[in-house]
Amino acid sequence: MLKDITIGQYFPGTSIIHKLDPRVKIVVVAMFIASLFFVTSFWPYVLIVAFIGTIISVAKLPLKFIIKGLKPLMFIILITFAINLFLTKGEVLLELGPLTITKEGLRQSVFMALRLVFLITGTSLLTLTTSPIALTDGIERLLSPFKKIGLPAHELAMMMTIALRFIPTLLEETDKIMKAQMARGADFESGNILNRAKNLVPLLVPLFINAFRRADELATAMEARCYRGGDGRTRLNELKFRSRDYVVLASMVVFFGLIISTRYLVS
């Protein structure tokens, strides 16, 4: 059940998308997200779908994986859909008791739902094709200009690296403790909400204790290796722009421009 969560998961591969400089990928995703908010009519979504489709096929990601990643957020998408559908004023299409569906509401709700789906898919493409280490490296480098105004770029990146690094460990640990308590007859799957919450105690207490123990051990291990923050620290793999990175960036700028122009061309 825990294994169904694919958000933020890395899908190893050797495609050109996987090999791109993480900084480029982060900037591309940021631009992609921004471009989503410039879309005001339906047909630019064709471009967006083409964009996402191209990346998925070039990176050889299984479509099943992407769809699975959307599942946990289906609830939020549905709520957004419902709110927009019922609460937008305009030309009435249908009345269901106290609820009315308007033409504008229908348009707006489909529009918002699609925007959310593309938003999630776009960002998960980043994490699916970028290893956590590369991702935080990229973030650190992108943030490093802000060090001058006191932003602890390295420390932030290090915290992210550690957090990402321990997600699988914690999931594994959760799975193990759950099984150990199930072996003692614990039941995590039935009962009402209150009972279920109560039944989580045998899972959460050991999980927290172990997490604190692990944090303590990690801190000691880092200190034992003389870790003292980012100053003067060199790295094994320096990030370097290659020609493919420039090509991708340039194409993205064109794509971004195209999306923005649709806003003025169509309306």
Partner 1 sequence: MIIQLKNVNYTYNPGTPFEKKALDDVNLEINEGDFIGLIGHTGSGKSTLVQHLNGLIKPTSGEIIIDGKSLSSKETKMKEVRQKVGLVFQYPEHQLFEETIYKDIAFGPKNLGLSDEEVDERVRNAMGLVGLDFETLKDRSPFELSGGQKRRVAIAGVVAMKPKVLVLDEPTAGLDPRGRDEILDEIRKLYEKENITIILVSHSMEDIARLVNRIFVMHKSKVAMAGSTREVFSNADQLESMGLGIPQITKFMRRFKALGHNVKDDVLTIEEAKEEILKYLRSNRDA
Q: Which residues bind partner 1 (CB under 8 A)?
A: 3, 11-13, 62, 64-65, 176-177, 179-187, 201-202, 205-206, 209-210
Q: Of 6 and 102, which has the nearer Cβ to partner 1? A: 6
In the complex, what is the shortest distance from the CB of residue 77 to partner 1, in angstroms, rounded to a whole number?
Answer: 24
Measured between alpha carbons, how far is 135 from 258 in angstroms, rounded to an integer?
27
In the complex, what is the shortest distance from the CB of residue 219 to partner 1, in angstroms, rounded to a whole number?
Answer: 19
Is the CB of residue 44 less than 8 Å from the CB of residue 164? no
In the complex, what is the shortest distance from the CB of residue 177 to partner 1, in angstroms, rounded to a whole number?
Answer: 5
Q: Of 98 and 185, which has the nearer Cβ to partner 1? A: 185
Q: Of 159 and 201, which has the nearer Cβ to partner 1? A: 201
In the complex, what is the shortest distance from the CB of residue 169 to partner 1, in angstroms, rounded to a whole number?
Answer: 13
Q: Of 3 and 235, which has the nearer Cβ to partner 1? A: 3
In the complex, what is the shortest distance from the CB of residue 202 to partner 1, in angstroms, rounded to a whole number?
Answer: 5
Enter the tokens of residue 92: 């009435």
In the complex, what is the shortest distance from the CB of residue 138 to partner 1, in angstroms, rounded to a whole number?
Answer: 22
Q: Of 47 and 186, which has the nearer Cβ to partner 1? A: 186
Q: Of 62 and 145, which has the nearer Cβ to partner 1? A: 62
